[in-house]
């Protein structure tokens, strides 16, 4: 608390000095970041690519920045939020599906056996999503997702998931957009679930959200056009799918990308293949007190040793949540 | 010529008057459009949805405008440009495929039998695209498309296809963007072929282009990441596919949409399903002298009688190229 007061006093003195002939420093664009090297690397990179005449100058239309969502922009522990939503949907409609009591992966959901559920991997997730994200219109699905986001609470923080976005990353998104970047989400999560909150939480419109998606079918119902969600997968946006998704949806190679796990490796490699300057970053969850600490051994958001070695060897920025972020969440919980 | 000189003189007088106390009228936002009702309808619509306090006001983030490409933003006769590109690609690589001499639809391409070729419909087009748009990297494909666009010439106008965009529609795109709209292309054409020119021609970045697409595969080649184009279709963006594509790629319902043929009907119906004010338009090719005149009987850009009746019954704007446009092409050919 004393530290905070000194900061305020110091800021006031700087403010007074600014009234005189000495020019005030521009305000800190990333105030929730501690003054550590990775913050300076980001600011230096943005200055280099936006300064006309610089060898690394990049025209605004080529300033594409892509961000993973779960674990990069908001909390993903103890389970990916989109997965919690799927589990709640399975439970909500299970009375219409008595066969789920004995059929996996539904049985594990109903038994509350998360470890077993995660062991079914991508195939299990796709089966659950197919069963719970289809058979309704896109408008109905959006209502279901929006209502869930209003009422669901995180088991540890007892807050809506939309409060559990990372404040330093929201600042980074704003900072990049203020410097002519276009910001995108490229996530393994369901595209329509994300679009229910990305504009409100991140200022990112739905057409700048890339995610996993199912097919839809256009039908005329009572002379009104409707899009019905089908159980068939259209696109799976994780791992190599992230580089493919960037091509399909965005159509331009990023020069800035941030992830936090093994599923983001190909997105960062694709970004690192840029012709000029580019920045690749990874959020490292090492703050058990304020959030979570996990890495190679985690089922969720796995950050293997090989990825850390690759990041170090290639100069990718690794953000320590513990050391590099003064604040974690957007809802403004006081730092301990 | 005399008319033009009078216009200049009149404009000069208006300019002089503006120096005095009388306020000058704002410049015409659509100068290549004649002063006919459809132009006024567009201007009135834009005023209604952008005026705060108006009953029809729409927030900027919801001002989504979608445009078909072939026949709506640029020429599509005698054949869709993307189809001409495919035909040229078949010919360019046919020496590697001796079997094409007897195998349809390739045989019709090599025989120059366009009528027979078009009779194979969507299935034929998909087969040709699969054979010619795969087996190379996305970077190589972009080079092939860009080079073709530089060298190919339209058979009648003897100009690059990128000169044959419609000036009134380019003005309309600019006018909408100037009023806070986000403009998208939603076309049956190949997404990567379009992205090779849409930013330069229309000011539309690649992530605001929705089109038909093939699958890609991420591969590491000599430690460099590469996206290889596969022959499998990912998404076919025509007819009902346009409404589905708007949902997949854009994720928000348009309030403004323009097409020119039967393949745009579902996009316009989906737009017409808006909650507040919306505008649906169709370009009608009725100007054989300056461009082409075609409709119900055309294989390319079919505009059936039923669509015209539907447009009239529902108050959709039908643009007569002959009567409503003072200029047709962006390259500035003088009006006759």
A232 reaches B (C-beta below 8 A): no
- pLDDT band of residue A336 (cuts 50, 70, 90) is very low
B178 reaches A (C-beta below 8 A): no
d(CA B138, CA B213): 12
d(CA B178, CA B167): 16
Q: Do A215 and B244 touch (CB under 8 A)?
A: yes
pLDDT at B26: 76
H helical segments located in chain A? 2-19, 37-50, 81-93, 106-111, 114-119, 121-132, 138-151, 167-178, 191-195, 198-202, 240-245, 265-272, 305-313, 321-324
pLDDT at B204: 98
Contacts with B216 from chain A: Cβ below 8 Å: 244, 247-248
Whether residue B78 has a cis bond before it, omega within 30° of 0: yes
Please tell me what DSSP assigns to residue B261: S
Q: From the centroid of its chain, how far is CA B158? A: 20
Closest CB to B266 among A225, A243, A266: A225
Minimal-distance CA residue of chain A relative to B243: A218
d(CA A216, CA B242): 11
Could you give phi then psi for residue A218, rounded to 5 degrees?
A: -75, 125
Contact between residue B242 and residue B267 where contact means Cβ atoms under 8 Å apart:
yes
Closest C-alpha among B203, B209, B206, B214 to residue B136: B214
DSSP reduced 3-state for B74: strand
Q: What is the pLDDT of residues B71-102, one digit of tens each?
A: 999 999 999 999 999 999 999 999 999 999 99
d(CA B245, CA B251): 9
Placement of tokens 């019905």 in the chain: A228
The strand order across the sheet containing A256-259 reads A224-235, A209-221, A182-190, A64-67, A256-259, A279-284, A317-320
Is the model's pLDDT at A12 over the cut of 60? no
Q: What is the pLDDT of residues B280-300, one digit of tens each?
A: 999 999 999 999 999 999 989
Share of chain A above pLDDT 70, in %: 91
Q: What is the pLDDT of residues A99-116, one digit of tens each?
A: 999 999 999 999 999 889
- pLDDT band of residue B24 (cuts 50, 70, 90) is low
Closest CB to B273 among A191, A206, A224: A224
Average pLDDT, chain B: 91
If contacts are CB pairs under 8 Å, which of residues 238-277 in chain A contact chain B? 240-241, 243-244, 247-252, 266, 269-270, 272-273
Mean pLDDT, to the nearest integer, of B250-266? 97
Q: Do A216 and B240 touch (CB under 8 A)?
A: no
A155 reaches B (C-beta below 8 A): no
pLDDT at A3: 39
Is the model's pLDDT at B5 over the cut of 80? no
d(CA A7, CA A28): 13
Q: Do B192 and A251 touch (CB under 8 A)?
A: yes
d(CA A308, CA A27): 33
- pLDDT band of residue B180 (cuts 50, 70, 90) is very high
Is the model's pLDDT at A208 over the cut of 70? yes
Q: Calculate how close chain B gets to A241, using CA atoms only, in Å.
A: 8
The residues with which A320 forms a beta bridge, in sequence order, are A284
Is the model's pLDDT at A225 over the cut of 80? yes
CA dihedral A73, A77, A80, A86 (to 10 degrees): -140
Name which residue leads in pLDDT, A321 or B236.
A321
DSSP string across A219-254: EEETTEEEEEEEEEEEE--STHHHHHHIIIII-S--
Name which residue leads in pLDDT, A23 or B298.
B298
pLDDT at B333: 57
Q: Do A273 and B207 touch (CB under 8 A)?
A: no
Q: What is the pLDDT of residues B187-222, one digit of tens each?
A: 999 999 999 999 999 999 999 999 999 999 999 888
Is the model's pLDDT at A35 over the cut of 70? yes
Q: What is the pLDDT of residues A293-307, one digit of tens each?
A: 999 999 899 999 999
Closest CB to A218 among B206, B234, B240: B240
Name which residue leads in pLDDT, A21 or A256.
A256
Minimal-distance CA residue of chain B relative to A198: B251
Share of chain B above pLDDT 90, in %: 84
Is the model's pLDDT at A97 over the cut of 90? yes
Angle between helices B121-132 and B81-93 (to 10 degrees): 50
d(CA B261, CA B242): 12
Whether residue A105 has a cis bond before it, omega within 30° of 0: yes
Which of A181, A234, A247 to mutate against chain B (most B CBs within 10 Å)?
A: A247
The strand order across the sheet containing B279-284 reads B224-235, B209-221, B182-190, B64-67, B256-259, B279-284, B317-320
- pLDDT band of residue A28 (cuts 50, 70, 90) is very high
Query: Beta strand B224-235 with B209-221: parallel, antiparallel or unpaired?
Result: antiparallel
- pLDDT band of residue B261 (cuts 50, 70, 90) is very high
Neighbours of A336 (CB within 10 A): 5
For the ranges A67-81, A131-145, B116-130, the lowest mean pLDDT is seen at B116-130
**A-to-B residue pairs, Cβ atoms closer than 8 angstroms:** 99
Residue A283 falls in which region: left (phi positive, over 0), alpha (psi -120 to 50) or beta: beta
Angstrom distances, CA of residue A147 to CA of A39, A134, A144, A152: 37, 17, 5, 9
d(CA B137, CA B228): 4
Burial of A199 (0-12, 13-18, 19+ CB in 10 A): middle
Q: Half-sphere exposure of B13 toward its Cβ, with a 13 Å CA cutoff?
A: 6
Is the model's pLDDT at B20 over the cut of 70? no
Angstrom distances, CA of residue B54 to CA of A111, B38, B51, B180, B276: 54, 21, 6, 16, 11
d(CA A123, CA A111): 19
Could you give phi then psi for residue A306, rounded to 5 degrees?
A: -60, -35
Which of B62, B201, B243, B251 to mutate against chain A (most A CBs within 10 Å)?
A: B251
Q: Calculate how close chain A gets to B219, using CA atoms only, in Å.
A: 8
Minimal-distance CA residue of chain A relative to B198: A251
Is the model's pLDDT at A292 over the cut of 60? yes
pLDDT at A221: 84
DSSP reduced 3-state for B51: coil
């Amino acid at each position: 608390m004393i530290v905070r007061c000194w900061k305020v006093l110091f800021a006031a003195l700087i403010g007074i000095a600014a009234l005189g002939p000495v020019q005030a420093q521009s305000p800190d664009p990333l105030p929730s970041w501690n003054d550590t090297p990775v913050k300076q690397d980001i600011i230096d990179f943005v200055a280099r690519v936006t300064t006309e005449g610089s060898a690394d100058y990049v025209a605004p239309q080529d300033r594409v920045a892509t961000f993973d969502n779960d674990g990069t922009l908001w909390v993903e522990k103890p389970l990916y939020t989109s997965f919690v939503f799927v589990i709640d949907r399975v439970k909500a409609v299970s009375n219409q599906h008595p066969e789920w009591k004995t059929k996996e992966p539904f049985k594990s959901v109903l038994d509350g056996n998360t470890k077993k559920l995660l062991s079914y991997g991508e195939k299990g997730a796709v089966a659950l999503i197919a069963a719970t994200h289809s058979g309704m219109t896109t408008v109905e699905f959006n209502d279901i997702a929006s209502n869930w986001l209003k009422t669901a609470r995180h088991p540890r923080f007892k807050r809506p998931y939309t409060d559990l976005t990372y404040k330093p990353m929201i600042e980074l998104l704003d900072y990049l957009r203020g410097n002519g970047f276009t910001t995108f989400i490229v996530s393994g999560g369901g595209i329509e679930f994300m679009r229910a909150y990305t504009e409100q939480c991140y200022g990112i419109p739905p057409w700048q959200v890339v995610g996993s998606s199912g097919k839809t079918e256009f039908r005329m119902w009572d002379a009104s056009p409707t899009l019905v969600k089908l159980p068939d997968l259209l696109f799976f946006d994780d791992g190599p799918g992230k580089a493919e998704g960037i091509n399909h949806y965005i159509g331009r190679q990023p020069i800035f990308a941030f992830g936090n796990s093994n599923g983001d490796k190909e997105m960062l490699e694709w970004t690192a293949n840029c012709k000029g300057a580019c920045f690749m970053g990874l959020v490292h969850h090492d703050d058990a007190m304020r959030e979570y600490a996990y890495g190679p051994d985690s089922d969720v958001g796995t950050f293997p040793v090989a990825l850390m070695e690759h990041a170090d060897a290639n100069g990718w920025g690794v953000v320590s949540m513990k050391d590099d972020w003064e604040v974690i969440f957007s809802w403004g919980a006081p730092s301990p």
